[in-house]
Structure formats: C-alpha cells, structure tokens
A and B are shown apart, each in its own frame.
Chain A
C-alpha cells in the first residue's frame, strides 16, 4: 500500500483569489465603518444657540437640555448611572472692578454653603479658545440628590468651573462628573469648550 502525500492545496483559481481578497477588504471596510459609526455616535453633538445671551456651542447629543433657575444652559447625561455628568453655563453681572479671581473666591464661598464636604482642589489660570483668559477652579464635593423617601449612598463628584469676563458679565462654565469617571468624561467637556462661542 503506497502512501499519498498531499503537499498543499491545489492552486486556486483567479476567481477564488479575488473572492478571498474581496472578503478581507469588505470586512476591513465594514470594521472601519463600524468604528466610524461608533465614533460618530459617541461624539455626536447637538447645536445650542442662545441669541439673547450671545452663546453658541455644540453639546453631546442625547444629553438632557434644560435652563434652570440658576443657569442659562445645562445639559446632563441622563443615561449615566449615579451622578449625571453635567455641563452648564451661568451668567452673573460684574462691576468694572471685578476680576475673575474675585469671582472664583466668591463662588468657592457660596458653594461651601450648599455642597457637602466642598473642597477646592486648585484655582489657576486657564486659557480658553481665542486666547480668552479665564480662571479655573477644580473642586470636589459629596452629592446626594435622591428624594427624602429614598435610600441612597452619596457619591463623590469632581467639578471644574471656568470663569471668564465678557461684555460686562461673568460667564461661569461648569463641568461635573462622578469622580471615578471624571477623566474619561472630561473629553466631552473639552469637545464642548472647543465649540463654545460667546
């Protein structure tokens, strides 16, 4: 009985080779397309335009937009479990003698009365887009915002206030996120800042 040694698959037809190549290319294209869709979905934005306040920006899509009593613009990521990552803009009147630093100190004093364990981590100069000077206050506090009849463990929130003066008023741009995902979420804020015009 003789032994037949198979040394390889017999050579493919050109059609088969083309098919293989096409399959690989298609898979690659689809993968890249998927990456693109994912990226677009994650970074999708919604335009915001406040003519009265002279503010335009692009904020993350599917974040809940509201204009509360204390802010002219606020968006929150309601799909985030725990503390809802928040970006907000507040406007305050200022005098000609008021500086960003004065406002930063004032803000720190007010927040200390309303936030539990409010702690300023740093106050430093910050440069906004278009070379607009600002002051940035980094802080943290403990948040518990459930109703009185619900049980909930407080979470630590990290925040950043960017204060700048423009047209006789102070613009306070705030970013807050749960401290353990703050760095991950910060890119959304940077993206927002890069589109903010006032």
Chain B
C-alpha cells in the first residue's frame, strides 16, 4: 500500500512538474529587453510646425532600421494628414520614448493596414549615411500560420501619447477571423490581461520564442462615430489649447492582431529595396460611385475558395465555425468596417471584429467569420458597421438538432465536354457559348420548387424556375447551364440557387480570355527585358537570364478578353518568397499587347531568381522566371535576430571609472586573436564605449560559436581572449566588465 502511495505521488509530481518545467524553459528564452528595445513610438507630424497629427507604436524588424507598423497612423490620409514621421525610442527601457530619428514609408498596404518605414534621417533632418547607422535591435517575424488557439502571447507597445515607457502585456489567442484573400487567418482575436489602448496599435505581439506573430491593430474612427481624439498642443499658436487646435486621434482598445505573415512581402521588398511600377496607363478609372454599402447578408458553415459551401438559416448545437457573407459596394482601403455580435441580445465580444480597415476591392462578395470557436446555443445577431455607422445586420439560430433539410452545396463551374464532364478550373472560364454550374444536392424531395438566378456584373441576366423531379433522386450532383444568345462575354458572373424562395447556395466565376486547355488564355507572351532606358524597350530583346546583373527589369505581356473592373492579381517572387502582391481591378482595354511592369532597386537588382505570376480568382494564368546574376539571393548574417546579446563596461583599473571611446572588437569564430590582421572581414561585431564606458554588441552571439575578443586602447595594456563561447544556459544579455591597466 505504501509503495502504491509513493508511486502515485511520484506520478502526480511528474505530470504536474514536467509541464511547468517545460513552460518555464520556453518562457526563459524570451529576450524581453530586446523586444522592448525594438519597440518604437511613432509620431506622424506636420513638417511646417512639427505639430503632432497621429501617434502609434512600431517594431524594428531589421537591423538597418526597417520598422513595421500600421498604415493608418503613418500613411498620409484625412485622419492623419502629417507628412513627417518621427521615431522615438526608450533610451532606458523604463523611461518614456525620446525622439531620435526620422523615417520614410518604403512599403505600405492600406487595406491590410500595414506599413514599413525606414529610418533615413537624424532627428534634425540630416540624412543618415546607411553605412553609419548603428545596427539596431530588431525582432524576427514568426510564421504566423503556426500560431495556435489559446497560445500565450506578449503584446508590446507604447500605451500612452509619449508619457509612458514600453508596456508588455500578456494575452492569449482567442480565435482566428477569416476573410477573403491570403491564407485563412486574416485576424487573430486576442484576450489580454489588461486593456490595450489604441496607441499600442502598430506595435508587436510575440510568441514564446520572442518572434513577432502579429501587429496589434485598431483603426481610427471619426469623432462623430465615437472615435477618441486628444488635444495635446497649441497647434495654431493662439496661446490656448482648445477646439480650434487639431487633436490627435486615438484608436479604440485593441483586440485583434494582423498576422505577421501578411507583412512578409512588404518586408522582403523593403529589405531588398525593390519597387514595382506599372507603366501601362490605365484606360478606365475604377472608383467608387457612391456611398459604401453592405447588402444580401447570409450565413455559411464553411468556405471553399472564398465561396460558401452552402447557405444556412440555422446551425446545429456544437457549431465551431460560422461565416457571415455579404455583398459590398463602393468600398475603399480607407473605409473602416466593424462587426458586432450579440447572443440572445447580450454583446459577445469574442465574436466581434473591432473597427479595421477594408482590405477588399471596391465591390464583390465578402465574408467574415471565426472558426475553431465554440458557438454556444442562442440567437446570434451579426451587425455590420461602416465608418462607425450601422450598415446591415442578420441573425442566425445556433442550437438544436442537426436537420436533414434539402440543400444545394459546393458549387463548381466549368464547361461541359461531349461526355458531360465539367472541364476547367472552376473559377475562371474562357469566353464560350455556355457556362455550367454543378451543385451537390442532398435530401431533395419531388415537387420542391427551386430557382436558379444568373447575374452578370451585378445585373440579373437569366432565371430558371423549376420543381424537383423524382427521377433526379434525393442526393447527387446537378448541372445547370447558362446560354446567353451572344455567348459568354468577359466579366464576373454569379449564380444564386433558391429552394422554396430561400437562398441555399451561391457562387461566382470570372469569364476572361479564350479557350486553351484547362485554364483560359488571358495573359500570354510574358517576357523580361533589361534596359536602362525605357525608350529602348521596343528594340530590346527579351531574355530569361542576365548573369551580369540588371539595374532595372521590365516585364511585359499581352492580354485578351478581360473586361475592365475584373479583379486580377500581379505577384512577384524572388527565390520563391513573395515580395509584391496586389489584387486590383483591370483598368486597361479589353485586349492588347505589351502591358509593361517595371521592377527596380536603387543600386541594381539583387542577384536572385525572380518570378512573375498573373492570377485571377487565385488561379495562376501565366508565370515566367528570370535569373539575375548568380540566380540566388546573398545570405545576410546580420538578418538573424536569434542568439544572445552582449553588453559590457570597460573601466580604468586604477580609478574604477568607465573609459569613453574604447573599441571592443569581437573577432569571428574562424580567427583567433593571433590570426587577427586588423581586417574588417575578420570582425564579427565592433562596439565603442560611451561616456560611462558602456558598450553593446549590436549583433547577437550564436550559441556554441567560439569568439575571440580584443580591447586595444592607447595608454592602456591590451586585453585579449580566445575561445569565448556562449552556452545554451547563458541568459541574454551577457554583461562583461573589463578593467584596463594603464601602460607605463
């Protein structure tokens, strides 16, 4: 008996203590000081009088001063009309930030509400020679697709308008919100231990390895819509701070993160200094024609290729994913939308999407929803807001038994071949006489009235009313076809299927190009040209490899049968990493040749293999590759943020006081002090002491690498050491004290 008790006690200790130890080990790896130092406070100011227009937080994500933040408080707009960006950082992490630099926007996506800034000037406006900018503390981006529900995160940012130091708040991932485009995680819903003020927007959220998983985001609402705005300065100089002065808008409390993966293309292009420009002039102006609207709300239990699998009027108990679909029109990237959810009339914040910027196009079908969340039984009312004003709402009952009602699901589109098989990719069809939609049907009953409505660019073009026949059976697949008299003309088509006058499924596809195998030929003859003078483009031969490099690269292609307004995607990759992706409405003629795009970088394009993809509805329609230089990107060791930080102090051994201006040289692991020939290539990192004798190595040290160190200063005996090795047990930062003995 005693042995059994001992065994049980040991077993209980094992299952309790081991997870705690593992957790402690994970937590210990976070370098909080590095996170705090990499977090900056951003002031968008007016250049004429440096009055503050907007504020927010940001995170240094590269050693050379690239800062990831929100677009809404940095890119010039109606709400934030400043034209100068000032970067402040906490010189002591326990103190409020101090303005240090000026920055410029190098990449921005206003819809995703992400921007990348680069530090380019000193605070007084002097240009910074990039070679003299110290290596700044930065953090690495995590693969945000690996973030798990309930994962613990740390959120860093400046909580106040410049009055408080960097704050760190712990929280956890509540759910994932899905929207069209990108991967299936448009937003991370978070629950924080403390409320996160809007000024933190643009900061960073970190996993347990100290990698940035997302950007806390809260858009700025207008005052009329309940947005907060603080009067901070006497902007007009009348001696009073009152309503005549412009105020600084503050976003709402933060409850969502924009995943870090959405920032990767921006970071890739910014770090390589790449810029993409379309040279073909638009033939049409695609712009909103009226007030932004939401309409036609319905619910779906799942999404495939941005389309609902089916339409539901109620969901069974135990539902863990639910999506609200709706049509939108006249939206812009600056439009702010919001979702508020109530369950049986009680606000349910876990399902709310706070005010965020619109990341879709001007019009189309949109969805928002959370999966992996337990929807308790009740009546859910989803209410949508545009710029803080209620725009549309819809309700659904969750609970009760699973019903076996007649349904249509999973629409697929194509062209029927002679054997009756559906040919095509499903979402982009060529111009042809007939288009066919095929649905899965279940639990159908003879005599059930059903209707199919076809629309073209938002206008109804065909309608079929019918009753279900017994010969078709209860379950199966059913094709319906559209045969316009003049054939399918290019544009966006949609089909809605109703049962008993209730929408049961919907789907859409694009018609473009001509028939050519599995995918239509919309784009063709994609080729690359290298020239420094655009006027020489017509005479310059295309090629797929430029071994001796290129300063500017042009890509051109022909197109056919694509109607203006059709959303298409242009995507650039280098060594398979996306650095540019933009979906926009087609604004040129319906067909033509030599649509030209320019890719350039100051100082020339980095060596690498570049790929240009052209897509519609996520279907790859044309792609081509070109090799520049050696055909792959150079490895940049400075770009690694992991490792251990080294700090120290160099003292006069006699007086015990710090010595200013002394060089601490950390030699690469390949060389010893004896082999060091005073060549920069042999140096891993170099630091100079400040007025108190403190120094700080600007690169992190890798665990297990044997470094050598050298301190040589006039008037002192040199100090040198080989075999300085960092072990896994060493906690960051390591602090050294080096006394120097006077020479003679």
Residues of chain A having any CB pair with chain B under 8 Å: 46, 61-70, 78-84, 113-116, 145-153
Contact = CB atoms under 8 A, between A and B. Distances in A.
Contacts of B183: none
B433 interface: no
B661 A83 contact: yes
7 contacts: A66-B679, A78-B686, A147-B698, A149-B89, A150-B695, A151-B691, A152-B690
Contact of B696 (A62, A82, A150): A150
B690 to A, nearest CB: 4
B691 A152 contact: yes
Contact of B127 (A65, A68, A114): A114
Contacts of A69: 130-131
A65 B126 contact: no
B737 interface: no
A149 B130 contact: no
A16 to B, nearest CB: 35
Contact of B713 (A64, A79, A116, A151): A79
A46 to B, nearest CB: 8
Contact of A148 (B132, B136, B660, B691): B136
A114 B126 contact: yes
Nearest to B137: A149
A148 B89 contact: yes
Nearest to B714: A79
A63 B678 contact: yes
A139 to B, nearest CB: 15
Interface of B: 37, 89, 91, 100-101, 122, 124, 126-132, 134, 136-137, 659-663, 665, 678-681, 683, 686, 688, 690-692, 694-696, 698, 712-715
B663 A78 contact: yes
B660 A81 contact: yes
Given A79-B712, A79-B714, A147 B134 contact: yes
Contact of B126 (A66, A115, A149): A115
Contacts of B695: 150
A62 B678 contact: yes
Contacts of B681: 66
Contacts of B713: 79, 81
A83 B91 CA distance: 22
A68 B131 contact: yes
A45 to B, nearest CB: 12
A31 to B, nearest CB: 17
A82 B691 CA distance: 10
A114 B679 contact: no
Contact of A78 (B91, B665, B691): B665
Given A83-B661, A148-B136, 13 more contacts: A64-B683, A66-B679, A66-B680, A69-B130, A78-B686, A81-B713, A113-B127, A114-B128, A115-B126, A145-B132, A147-B698, A150-B695, A151-B91
Contacts of B130: 69
B680 A82 contact: no
A84 B714 CA distance: 11
Contacts of B129: 70, 114
Contact of A65 (B128, B678, B698): B678
Nearest to A145: B132
B459 to A, nearest CB: 58
- The listed residue with most A CB atoms (<10 A of its CB), out of B124, B131, B695, is B131
A177 B400 CA distance: 83
B663 A116 contact: no
B666 to A, nearest CB: 12
Given A84-B663, A152-B660, A145 B688 contact: yes
A152 B694 CA distance: 10
A17 to B, nearest CB: 35
A65 to B, nearest CB: 5
Nearest to B119: A148
A62 B714 CA distance: 12
A114 B131 CA distance: 12
